[in-house]
């Protein structure tokens, strides 16, 4: 199948022209998709992650599509590394206009099975690392020039069984978002969050094969009756970074198909195929280089996983 040449964004061409946007976790999943969309809209995207090969590949994709991207290897849990990385970016570009705090990770485990080391690793990535990135972007650029920050959290409403470490960290990031929005508003800095629900992203490929059946069936707990797409999540991020959101700060935009509204005792009525194809709710597939998680491919769904 031939890959289309350009990202199909709903936003105006050139919207982020001459803007410098940092994206943590930009080597895969939602971060990769968001980087492509912002670059297609004129931004110079700076990809940040721990694996240089993944960042290099995404930067190459963006360049092949006519966009601009550079990348830096950085463990966002390391305070000195974050300080040095942000400093290097400011030295090259002069300023940072926006930050997408997308990097994150977790593993499936009940609370009683999570060690202190495992807990600290997840909280360090999903909360502390995001705080460090936002703080340094603010200190080294946004305090003087203004800017916008979007923190990626998760569908934490009503608990996160089997991912309590991630739920606690993401809830902390929501509170951090609200506090930073209040403290940094005087400098012209907006801080918001996007909370993806069940998104068909390559991030699902990190879970063990035995979790495949459970993951595929999660769509049946969503009133919308399907998984969301990376492009639908990216569109929410781009909106919050855009001038159209200039009076929105300290808020959380959910992208979850109303999943938290499903309630015990209320019969969930999933839409049929005809309803899902209606233009108001049909999946938005704007990412021309998007790919389904492996567990959704025919080879996987026909197997025991």
Tell whether the model's pLDDT for residue 302 goes beyond 50: no
CB 117 within 8 A of CB 164: no
Range 11-28 average pLDDT: 97
Q: How confident is the model at residue 133 (pLDDT cuts 50, 70, 90)?
A: very high
Average pLDDT over residues 154-161: 88
Q: Average pLDDT for residues 135-149, to the nearest whole number?
A: 98
pLDDT at 300: 45
Which pLDDT score, from 0 to 100, does residue 38 have? Answer: 98
Give the span between the Cα atoms of 193 and 147, in whole angstroms. 14
Longest dimension (CA), the chain: 57
Q: How confident is the model at residue 211, as a pLDDT?
A: 62
In tens, the pLDDT along 286-299 reads 889 988 777 776 54
Instruction: List, for residues 62-110, the tens digit of each pLDDT value.
Output: 999 999 999 999 999 999 999 999 999 999 999 999 999 999 988 889 9
Packing angle between helix 29-40 and helix 52-64, nearest 10 degrees? 30
- Residue pair 131/99 in contact (Cβ under 8 Å)? The answer is no
Helical H runs in the chain? 29-40, 52-64, 79-93, 116-123, 129-137, 143-145, 164-184, 212-217, 230-241, 273-276, 298-301
Percent of the chain past pLDDT 90, that is, above it, reads 68
> Hey, how many other C-beta atoms are within 10 angstroms of the C-beta on 216?
18
Q: Is there a contact between 235 and 286 (Cβ–Cβ < 8 Å)? A: yes
Both tokens of residue 45?
């995207």
Task: Provide the residue ranges of all domains of the chain, joining segments of one domain with +.
Answer: 20-258+289-301
Listed in sequence order, the residues at least 6 apart from 164 whose beta carbon sits closer than 8 Å to its beta carbon are 110, 111, 114
- 20-258+289-301 belongs to CATH 3.40.50.720: yes
State residue 209's pLDDT score.
66
Per-residue pLDDT band for 42 (boundaries 50, 70, 90) equals: very high
Residue 138 is classified by DSSP as I
Give the mean pLDDT of the chain: 90
Q: Determine the length of the chain.
A: 305
Most confident of 153-167, 177-191, 192-206, 280-294: 177-191
Give whole-number Cα distances, 252 to 185, 218, 282, in Å. 16, 22, 23
Query: How far apart are the two ends of the chain, measured CA to CA in Å?
Result: 27
Give backbone dihedrals phi and psi of 222, rounded to 5 degrees, phi first: -105, 125
**pLDDT, average across residues 163-190:** 96
**pLDDT at residue 264 above 70?**
no
């Amino acid at each position: 199948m031939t890959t289309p040449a350009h990202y199909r964004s709903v936003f105006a061409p050139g919207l982020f022209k001459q803007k410098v946007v940092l994206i943590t976790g930009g080597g895969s999943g939602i971060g990769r998709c968001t980087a492509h969309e912002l670059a297609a809209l004129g931004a110079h995207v700076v990809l940040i992650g721990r694996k240089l090969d993944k960042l290099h590949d995404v930067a190459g994709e963006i360049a092949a599509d006519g966009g601009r991207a550079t990348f830096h290897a950085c463990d966002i849990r390391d305070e000195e590394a974050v300080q040095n990385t942000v400093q290097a970016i400011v030295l090259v570009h002069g300023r940072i206009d926006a930050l997408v705090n997308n990097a994150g990770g977790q593993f499936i485990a009940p609370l009683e099975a999570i060690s202190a080391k495992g807990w600290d690793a997840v909280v360090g990535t999903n909360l502390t690392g995001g705080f460090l990135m936002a703080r340094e972007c603010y200190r080294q650029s946004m305090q003087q020039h203004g800017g916008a920050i979007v923190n990626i959290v998760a569908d934490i409403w009503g608990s996160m069984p089997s991912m309590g470490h991630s739920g606690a960290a993401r809830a902390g990031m929501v509170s951090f978002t609200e506090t930073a929005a209040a403290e940094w508003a005087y400098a012209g800095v907006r801080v918001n969050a996007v909370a993806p629900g069940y998104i068909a992203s390559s991030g699902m490929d990190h879970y063990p094969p035995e979790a495949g059946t459970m993951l595929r069936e999660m769509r049946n707990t969503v009133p919308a009756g399907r998984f969301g797409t990376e492009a639908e999540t990216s569109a929410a991020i781009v909106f919050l970074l855009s001038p159209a959101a200039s009076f929105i700060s300290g808020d959380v935009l959910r992208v979850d198909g109303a999943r938290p509204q499903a309630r015990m005792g209320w019969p969930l009525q999933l839409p049929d195929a005809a309803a899902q194809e209606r233009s108001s709710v049909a999946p938005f597939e704007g990412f021309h280089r998007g790919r389904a998680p492996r567990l959704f491919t025919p080879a996987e769904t026909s197997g025991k996983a």
